[in-house]
Amino acid sequence: MDVLKLSPVPTPDDAMALDIPMRDGVTLAADLYRPDHGRPTATILIRTPYGKGLGAPMFDLPSIARIFVAHGFSVVAQDVRGRFASGGGQEVYRREIDDGYDTLDWIVAQDWSDGNIGMWGTSYVGFTQLAAAASGHPALKAIVPRMTGTELGFPMGFADGSSDVEHAVFRWYFGQVYADNPLYMFPLDWSFRPLRQIFDPFFDYLGKRSQDFDDSFNPEFFKRVVPRSRLLANPIPTLYTVGTYDMAAIWSWRDVEAMQKSPLWHDKLHLRIEAIDHESYSLDLAPMTDEDDHRKNARARERLQRQWVDPTIPFYDRHLRGFGEGVARVAYQVGKGGWETAPTWPPQPAQAVQFHLDGTGPEAQGRLSLLPVEDRRIARWRHDPEAPVPSIAVTEEAPCGPGVKSIFMVWPDLAPLGERPDVLAFATEPVAGDLLLAGPVDLRAMLASTLTSADLFCRLSDLAPDGTAGLIARGHVRVGLDPVEEGADDEAVARAAHPVHVPLLHASYRLPAGHRLLLHVFGSDFPEYLFNPGDGSETWDAETALAGTHALELGGLRGATLTVTAANPPEAVARAFG
């Protein structure tokens, strides 16, 4: 196999190697970076599964630690349990609450610590922060989780009975990243069936199976999330970064929305909303060049590290060192339109603007109408799992992961997607004035299908006067249905239709005057999201998937609607839509 293996590296010369004991006798390896003055300082703890000492072009913790040290902080960079130089077995998620507590307890007892600890990091490194905060350790005074969540990676259920569509990265993470202490990368063919065997050649190469991958098919595995109730019961100052183009945003917003509803978190939560994807590439750079790619260009990497660290310094100064004014309650990046601040999210004034989906779908582009559509229509499309709707930026030969790359590397025109016969397209009239979208975006519809299980994907885009379209927001759900017969008439379809809510999460985007909102609705997004077998069976065990016909109700009392949140004054919203 063509496998890249990343192993532990020696502690850098400007750091000190640490062995930190856990309550069960396992020792976790860490590196300590300190200012030269030698006095006790506040400490930034970074707990990572990706190698505490790995440098460029990987997740370069030594460089990040040195930025913090230059600001007067000590930094402890630690390999989590079972990873790289740390002891213990691979137990993804399971012990991060206790191990976080024990690490904090050890740090606060050291003579170089002044007793004030903050944490920092992205994705799983952000998950370890949420876990440590949930532990309730009193020395943890502030956290800065980025693009993460207490349920990070886990397919989730929703109150209406629908569920999240599993992202390919979920079990890929256990089969490839968490298979052994080192980190491995190798190409995968996501058309392989059954998917449960996709890692078998790698496991043969490794000489063992990933226990976490096998355990992930046991319902008990899903209890490894950080209980959100524990996090909410231990409020501490939190600067939570959400990426509007991040595949992990669905998990971030679940946490943020729960914090916003909790009185305990009223003065604790600070929100930073960035137009970035999970690799921290930015919409500002789209379409990117090699000079913008932090994995290829040292200057881009240094700029990115500053973007990660610099906004956190005033926050840490306020909550770890007791000086300065801290950061704004909410800072949000408006697409390519710069930064704004506000005391709340959504920023005020905010109002819900509801559009009604109108039209017959694939034969001609439908409309997003502000006026209710009186007559009911049924819009149908054929879902063929052998010819799925492609994910936004698919690699021809993915080195690892689900086979997609940053959309900002290509920033594709999404308008042609609506020409596919399996995609419904709806657009507004051009807006007469700039429209600031800032807050939740939701689709509500009645869905029917000839299958017992169907996925519904939505992408909302900015349709420019030249006919090109760029992504604003997206969302998806998987729904169990009572199937209708192929060729059933409209009345039979309507009787079988099931209410569906598709959260397109939150938008932070300015739609310029003369542009239109464009909505695409479809039934697959491959290979970023796993295929639906169509019969309700487990995707990872299915050898085939069923084709079927999906249908939405348009118009009438139950017609599909798209709701966006506009932060313009009411009169400005009225002017924008004439």
pLDDT tens track for 13-32: 999 999 999 999 999 999 99
pLDDT tens track for 133-188: 999 999 999 999 999 999 999 998 998 999 999 999 999 999 999 999 999 988 88
Average pLDDT over residues 446-454: 98
Comparing CA positions, the residue from 414, 425, 420, 370 lying closest to residue 563 is 370
**pTM across the whole model:** 0.96
> How many helices and strands (H and E) does the chain possess?
12, 23
pLDDT at 396 (0 to 100):
52
Cβ contact 421:563 at 8 Å: no
401: pLDDT strictly greater than 80: no
pLDDT at 76 (0 to 100):
98
pLDDT tens track for 213-247: 999 999 999 999 999 999 999 999 999 999 999 99
pLDDT at 379 (0 to 100):
95
Average pLDDT over residues 74-80: 98
403: pLDDT strictly greater than 70: no
User: Which two structure tokens, joined as six digits, stand for 570?
Assistant: 């009411």
Average pLDDT over residues 439-445: 98
pLDDT tens track for 307-333: 999 999 999 999 999 999 999 999 999
For residues 570 and 419, what is the distance between their CA atoms, to the nearest angstrom? 35
CA–CA distances in Å: residue 220 to residues 100, 163, 223:
22, 18, 6
pLDDT at 398 (0 to 100):
46
363: pLDDT strictly greater than 50: no
pLDDT at 378 (0 to 100):
95
pLDDT grade, residue 361 (50/70/90)? very low
pLDDT tens track for 501-527: 999 999 999 999 999 999 999 999 999
For residues 525 and 414, what is the distance between their CA atoms, to the nearest angstrom? 13
Element (H, E) at 124: helix 124-135
Average pLDDT over residues 278-285: 92
pLDDT grade, residue 365 (50/70/90)? confident
- Per-residue 3-state assignment (H helix, E strand, C coil) for 375-405: CCEEEEEEECCCCCCECCCECCCCCCCCCEC
**Mean of all residue pLDDT scores within the chain:** 94
Average pLDDT over residues 407-433: 94
Q: Which residue has the higher pLDDT, 358 or 404?
A: 358
380: pLDDT strictly greater than 70: yes
pLDDT at 362 (0 to 100):
39
